Amino acid sequence: MKTIYSAIQPSGELTIGNFLGTLKGWKDFQDEYKCLFGVADMHAITVRQNPQLLRERTKKLLAIYLATGLDPDKSIIYVNSHVKQHAELGWVLHTYTNLGQLNRMHQFKSKIKDNEERANVGLYCYPVLMASDILLYDTDFVPVGDDQKQHVEITRDIAERFNSIYGDTFTIPEPLINKSGSRIKSLQDPTVKMSKSDPNPNAFILLLEEYNVMKKKISRAVTDSIGEINYSEDQPGIMNLLDIYKACNNEDMDTIFAKFEGQNYGYLKREVTEALETTIGPVREKTKDYLNNEDYLLEVAKKGSEKASEIAEKTLAKVYDKIGFLRSI
């Protein structure tokens, strides 16, 4: 059985774009693949976090994982900082990563362009820790959006460099690009990706936002004066609403166009609202239930970290042996 690895940072609230583009499909992997899903709290601290808030968001993300259908009996669900091998292998991999590769990473450049003096080394070396996350578990596939593909590419480069020196050690992972829901755009500027950091709160919808708030935001979504429902670059606002609807219902565009033929924008917005509520409403309510059972969340994290550590330690021991570290036992 092939292995899939993925993780999300607990550094803020998730949007419907995060859910439709990433989380929604994870549960479907569980019967076909060996799956590990991490809460990437080690990555989150590359930006200063409120400690208590980070702990609460970590628990919330665990609850969301379970609410979306991840099963701790089928998948390994854990918190990255609970598995010490992430940091240990990360240090080793730093010594097999070229500066030129890190200098070319797009995300680092975009994150520091307005704040270069406050950038820290952890943010710069973020891709190496991500490589450690992936390579620890003999990962075959990493589900990513187009904007994360570069991180899988550098992971492959590091693994291939190590393997060329020491022989077959790491599995070379492949990116698994999710097209459905990966293009969710801002409701106020549908030429850019939906982001929770948008200064306009009407531009994004949070995954756990209440129905009435979500309904109001969709009703205010930017459209156009054409008055026809087409999937066209000339109508980015309508394209975005159709993408949201399609990501919720998994219908083909021919079926969707038949449904909306001759309808107005108000009808489209109402249908998108109801489709979205049908999809995320149960996640919102189940998340609340899991958060009211903190002992269970911690038990899931503990058992998941034990399973992950067992796999990770085998990989780390193999790496330590190949690079020549003296082992006491």
Contacts of 301 (CB under 8 A, 6+ apart): 39, 62, 77, 78, 79, 82
Annotated catalytic residue, options 111, 269, 314, 322? 111
The token duo for 261 is: 């033929």
- Give the Cα separation of 217 and 15 in Å (integer): 13
Q: Is 217 a catalytic residue?
A: no
**If you ran DSSP here, which 8-state letter would residue 83 be given?**
-
Q: Is 84 a catalytic residue?
A: no
Cβ atoms of residues 150 and 157 within 8 Å: no
**If you ran DSSP here, which 8-state letter would residue 218 be given?**
H
Contacts of 218 (CB under 8 A, 6+ apart): 187, 205, 241, 269, 272, 273, 276
Annotated catalytic residue, options 24, 60, 185, 193? 193
The token duo for 138 is: 């003999």
Q: Is 196 a catalytic residue?
A: yes
Task: Give the containing element (helix H, strand E) for 176.
Answer: strand 174-177
Cβ atoms of residues 65 and 116 within 8 Å: no
- Give the Cα separation of 241 and 268 in Å (integer): 8
Cβ atoms of residues 40 and 116 within 8 Å: no
Q: Can you list the alpha helix ranges (DSSP code H) found in the chain? A: 16-18, 24-29, 41-44, 51-67, 85-94, 99-103, 106-112, 121-135, 149-166, 211-219, 236-249, 253-260, 265-291, 294-323
Counting other chains too, the contacts that 316-319 makes at CB distance below 8 Å and 24 or more residues apart are 316/85, 316/88, 316/89, 316/136, 318/169, 319/89, 319/92, 319/162, 319/169
Annotated catalytic residue, options 196, 259, 269, 307? 196
List active site positions.
Answer: 111, 193, 196
